[in-house]
Structure 1
Amino acid sequence: MEFKNCGWAGYVKDFISKPNEEIVSSLSSFLREERSEQIFPWDRSISALKENLVDLKEIYDCALIFEYDYPRSGGKRPDLIFLNNGTVLVIEFKNRVEPETVDFDQVLGYVRDLTEYHPIARDKKLIPILIPIGFDRPYYESKGVYVLKPKDLPLFIRNNIKKSNNLSDIKIWTESPCEPLPSLIESAKLIFHRKPLPNIKQAQSAKIPEVLNRIEKIIQKSTNDKTKKIILITGVPGAGKTLVGLQVVHSKNISVPSIFLSGNGPLVQVLQYELESKVMVSQMKSFLQDLWIKHKDKSVREKVIVFDEAQRAWDRDRILEKHWGKLADSEPGLLLGLSNRVKDSLVVIALIGEGQEIHAGEESGIKNWVDAVRENPIWEVIGPKHLSNHFLNNSIKYEIEELFHLTNSIRNIRAIDTSKWVNFILDGNINEASILSEKIKKDGYHLRISRDIEISKNYINDIMKDRNIKRSGILVSSKFRKSEEYGIKPVRNQYYYYGEWYSENNQNKHSGSKLKEAVSEFGCQGLELDLPLLCWGTDFFWSNNKWNVKVGKPRKVKDPNNLRINAYRVLMTRGREGLLVFVPKISDLDNTYNILLKVGFENI
């Protein structure tokens, strides 16, 4: 019987009796895009595996699945899955004598993906195993991975697999809807084309569906009652705020015109590039220019305005500067001021990433929104409890909705505590960060570090090899002025290829995955990569038991130190699968390198 989504599958007794040539032929056909030299190691591995399993008649009813190609994996395929009703061995063969760091990360990645996304694996005990073909030492365990020589596999199976009287159902396993949560860009495309998003337990635990449903009901009531409402949604980095906003403006349950706005130029570029449309995604600056400068008397078509990255809303001074003195209010003030030009309903949804103000003019934060409501008291405010006092202390009515604070990260699907860990680091709580890092790494979030840029790039290329839908890229602080001396070339200020940088694979000359050009905190906020390479700069370094900032002459900002901390908060929270940090060999960064080792990073 043939099974879908794998190179070959069957029960152990069938595997042993099947000629090697038939199994290799099946694998070769399945892996036809691979070069033929990959088949020879399989031939060796199959022969060795048969020799070692033939005497274990008690496991003849267990199943073997070779090269399981689970959906949306980006090219990941475990070499072998040994399937028992209660325990699953995830086995990776390597044609070398000793395993390398990237091998451990690879097999742990398989286990994490299957645990999180596969409905059958979720309730099983999964054990990651590495088998270097030339390995000839006693087996050992490291970081939760068992390293065995081929002939040790029978003993390991005998000790870890319990006899079951029930056949493992290979068909159910290989055809189960294994659905990893799509990236922000993939999600935007699915939403735009009215396709359902995967039903993933992390999105469910983050209560994204409930949040969307609550917003839809508020909009419907506002539409019926012809009222003006502000919805404030806060959350940790990667909690799904942008995803919620995109779902709102494309919701079939909202009958009034909607628009998604952002002051984040790179994010807008990427979304417009992927959606091949500018109709429902626009720059905040352009939107305000159109309604407040070019067409002052024009009625407002949109009845739902989603403002992404609303913590970056410009204050009055920044507006005066950027709009050449033609506008004289904050962005929240200008948005809420539109109420005078709307006879019926208007709903503004502000998506607020806390602790991510990184630019001049963004430091007023929630105060801008409080002041705007005081000037336009017709607005009703709904938001999470922790923002309530800002409004209540100014005699502004405030309805608390706890759903509107998103506390779980769905970007770092395997490391919900990553945001808290980054906060510990930036707050100087080294011991707490070190303790929490162990859980993060156990959950499968890679934390790697190097002082050699070529070694760093090679690691990224190795772990991302053949994963064509996955994306990597280099990140660097905008204030690390000498990064090019250490092999890091930042993109220019007016960069027009963010869409390609994030969306295309490394065959495209502008792709971030080529690891040629780096984007800054301004180019990555609100966006994500599967595995980013962060170049640490001399603008933020550890000395005298605390973080120090060195940025030269500061611009017109209230607290340059806080902006730099927030910049590194953004840079450190972009990864879905892990984070690799490159620390240049600069004596001023020696202490920084050592402290990063203490908080959980491990050398490649």
Structure 2
Amino acid sequence: MNLTCKGMRDSYYSASALDFLNSSDESVLGELARSHHHALEHEQRFAWIKQIEILKRVLASTPDAHVFLEFSVPRMGKRADAVVLHCGMVIVLEFKVNSASFDRAAIEQVHDYALDLKNFHLGSHSLPILPVLIATRAEARLQQPRWATDLVSAPVLIGPNGLADTLALQRPPAARHDHIDVAAWRASGYRPTPTIIEAAEALYRSHAVEEISRSDAGAKNLQATAGRIAEVIEESKRDQFKSICFITGVPGAGKTLAGLNIAAKRAKRHEDEHAVFLSGNGPLVDVLREALARDQNSREKIALGEARRRVRTFVQNIHHFRDHYLDRDEVPFEKVVVFDEAQRAWTAGQATNFMKKRGYDDFDKSEPEFLISVMDRHRDWCTVICLIGGGQEINTGEAGLMEWLTALKDRFPGWRVHASSLLEDRHYTASSEAKTLLAAPNIVKHPDLHLAVSMRSFRAEQLSAFVGQMLDGDASGAKHSLAAMGGRYPIVVSRDLARVRSWLRSMARGSERLGLVASSGGYRLRPEGIHVKAKIEPATWFLNDRLDVRSSYYLEEVATQFDIQGLELDWAGVCWDADLRWIDAAWQFHAFKGTKWQQVRDETKRLYLLNAYRVLLTRARQGMAIFVPTGDRDDPTRPPAFYDGTYEFLLRCGAVQLEDQ
């Protein structure tokens, strides 16, 4: 039975090698065709026939193996051509029928499949995984596998005549098992943690969130949050009232995924609600829109321009939404609105100053008050969902939670408020006034509106704790949190940027994305070749491949906290400048003005600077290298004293000297 423990099909076809050999080609092909829920094209049918022919020839000598055809890789939304379990190894096979060469994209693809199994399929965590790319017209024979420390080999590239020898390979010496219990392996569970781009693509294709997100007891169940929001929406609709929900979560916990899931589900199942996902994060909107459009263009052969037009109804820029209703009194089209990163909405002062520059002299509201007032135009019901990140206000005039609560209390007391039970925590509510407002009796608290576990760093659920302790100046606490990760999330530090680049390239496998990031105030990184004033094109930086010099892979263009907030890399090089420096057992805050550094005394601006580094340090899913310059004794803007203390403090926090690796 081709079912996993969650009830989802893990493959189109599954059988012992012996049963596979005893089945006719037509019966195997028929089962593949029945499971294929799309029109079966001639090219696909021919590929399956060729694969069956090759596999039957080589599996005759390994009748104790087990074979899966069209094996599902849910996080990637794709299927591996075949997976063979044999002699304690998981062998992932990808065929390039009628090809005599091995192109880079195909090599990356089969490597990605192997890494995906290693990282997200529980039954494969401790097993050696061998990715094999077979070009059916190639003459390449067996190459000896190059095993990484996690027992995932670099891809083996062979022609069909090399497959028998490949399947006869002995498992690597570090392998602990010589046999795989097939039933237990299949039932072990698949717990993917997709990037936000992968998640958006899957949800846009109408996949269920449970198909693409982890669901183990250790991670907060995104479905529970979605379920609670659905209850609030249905109650609002049934009883005809207006409601607002505040979802909190640690960095990387899946707030944006939760918001996208809510918007996608409501938009598809309740078309009358016209649910929409809004974000004021311009780079996030640009990257998601472009990723969705490219994906649809590739899958459905829709013209890229038309695909871009379509995705605008799913993901919108909150400022465009705001501007649309500035000059109009119309009731909004949307009944359900998700505001991403709501803590970054503008204060009344910032919004008023901005509007005056645009000719709106009588505008006197905070951004939260105006946005609620737009939705309040509905005479019957509506629901607003606000996603609140902890410690992520990074720009002048960003309001945090206070302006939302003040607007609800003073202007919209009839709205029903549902809040995360963690909303009063200091990471989400900095002011005592906000905590007082949260004690109001009309605010209902829900534990399942808080996402507590980071899912971005699937190897390091304590990453956010480590970063928080480090920025709080607690070196021993940070070191303890890093040690608790058990080496699953490497953090190295170096004074040599070339070494950092080399380490990042050596760690990234398959299509894993790497990139350099730095604070927007890191102006004196320029002598090191890091120019933060040179703006990147976010969609190009995040989405283009390693052959594009503008992409993150090239490790030339650097992204700042404004470019990368809400997005992620697999491996990050964090470039640390003297705007935040550890001197005399405390963080010191500086801004580079004109020709010299000036001390930052304003507490709000200090908070923004800490949060900028919090964003930079929580972007990497798998590990990071931190670059701290040595400085220059002859340059008064970057003497070694500005950097040495930071470097030593990072070592005390548990980061490992890259030179010792």
TM-score (norm 2): 0.67
2:405 is the counterpart of 1:370: yes
Report how far residue 574 of structure 1 moved.
0.4
Q: What is the SS of the residue equivalent to 1:244?
A: helix
Distance 1:110 1:447 in 2: 25
1:228-307 to structure 2, matched below 5 A, reads 228-251=242-265, 252-255=268-271, 256-275=273-292, 276=308, 277-292=311-326, 294-295=327-328, 297-307=329-339
Distance 1:351 1:154 in 2: 50
Identity in percent: 30
* Contact 1:259–1:306 (CA under 8 A) maintained in structure 2: yes
Give the aligned partner of residue 592 of structure 1: 646
2:403 alignment partner AA = N
2:466 is the counterpart of 1:428: no
Once the two structures are superposed, residues 453-502 of structure 1 have per-residue CA deviations (whole angstroms, 9 ceiling, x without a partner) of 1221122222225x23x211110111111222112132535x5x211211
C-alpha change, 1:279 and 1:143, in structure 2 (3 Å) is closer
Q: What is the SS of the residue equivalent to 2:522?
A: coil
Unaligned runs of 5+ in 2: 1-10, 19-61, 92-111, 131-143, 152-168, 293-307, 425-433, 593-597, 632-639
1:299-338 to structure 2, matched below 5 A, reads 299-324=331-356, 326=360, 327-338=363-374
1:313 alignment partner AA = A
C-alpha change, 1:263 and 1:393, in structure 2 (3 Å) is closer
Give the aligned partner of residue 201 of structure 1: 214
Correspondence for 2:453 among 392, 396, 408: 408
Give the aligned partner of residue 118 of structure 1: 121
C-alpha change, 1:379 and 1:555, in structure 2 (3 Å) is farther
Give the aligned partner of residue 224 of structure 1: 238
Say what the alpha-carbon RMSD is for the aligned residues. 4.2
1:289 alignment partner AA = D
C-alpha change, 1:462 and 1:546, in structure 2 (3 Å) is same
Report how far residue 126 of structure 1 moved.
5.6
1:421 alignment partner AA = F
Distance 1:154 1:381 in 2: 61
Once the two structures are superposed, residues 112-158 of structure 1 have per-residue CA deviations (whole angstroms, 9 ceiling, x without a partner) of 96565224236xx56999xxx9x9xxxxxx9999xxxxxxx99996x
1:435 alignment partner AA = H
Once the two structures are superposed, residues 420-450 of structure 1 have per-residue CA deviations (whole angstroms, 9 ceiling, x without a partner) of 01011011111111122112243x1121222
1:8-87 to structure 2, matched below 5 A, reads 71=73
Distance 2:648 2:186 in 1: 45
Report how far residue 343 of structure 1 moved.
0.9
C-alpha change, 1:183 and 1:430, in structure 2 (3 Å) is same
Q: What is the SS of the residue equivalent to 1:324?
A: helix
Distance 2:376 2:76 in 1: 50
* Contact 1:491–1:519 (CA under 8 A) maintained in structure 2: no
Give the aligned partner of residue 522 of structure 1: 562
Report how far residue 214 of structure 1 moved.
1.4
Bigger RCO (CA 8 Å, 6+ sep): 1
C-alpha change, 1:474 and 1:228, in structure 2 (3 Å) is same
Once the two structures are superposed, residues 538-574 of structure 1 have per-residue CA deviations (whole angstroms, 9 ceiling, x without a partner) of 1111111121111145899652222111111111000
C-alpha change, 1:243 and 1:286, in structure 2 (3 Å) is same
2:385 is the counterpart of 1:349: yes
1:599 alignment partner AA = C
Distance 2:63 2:224 in 1: 43
Distance 2:129 2:481 in 1: 22
C-alpha change, 1:175 and 1:351, in structure 2 (3 Å) is closer
Distance 2:482 2:187 in 1: 35
Distance 2:85 2:333 in 1: 58
Distance 2:400 2:420 in 1: 15
Correspondence for 1:581 among 601, 626, 645: 626
The alignment of Structure 1 onto Structure 2 pairs a total of residues equal to: 500
Report how far residue 74 of structure 1 moved.
12
TM-score (norm 1): 0.73
Distance 1:432 1:111 in 2: 35
1:165-184 to structure 2, matched below 5 A, reads 168=180, 180-184=192-196
Correspondence for 2:201 among 174, 189, 193: 189
C-alpha change, 1:111 and 1:382, in structure 2 (3 Å) is same
Distance 2:254 2:438 in 1: 29
C-alpha change, 1:391 and 1:336, in structure 2 (3 Å) is farther
Distance 1:339 1:114 in 2: 44
Distance 1:385 1:506 in 2: 43
Q: What is the SS of the residue equivalent to 1:341?
A: coil
Distance 2:490 2:339 in 1: 32
C-alpha change, 1:225 and 1:274, in structure 2 (3 Å) is same
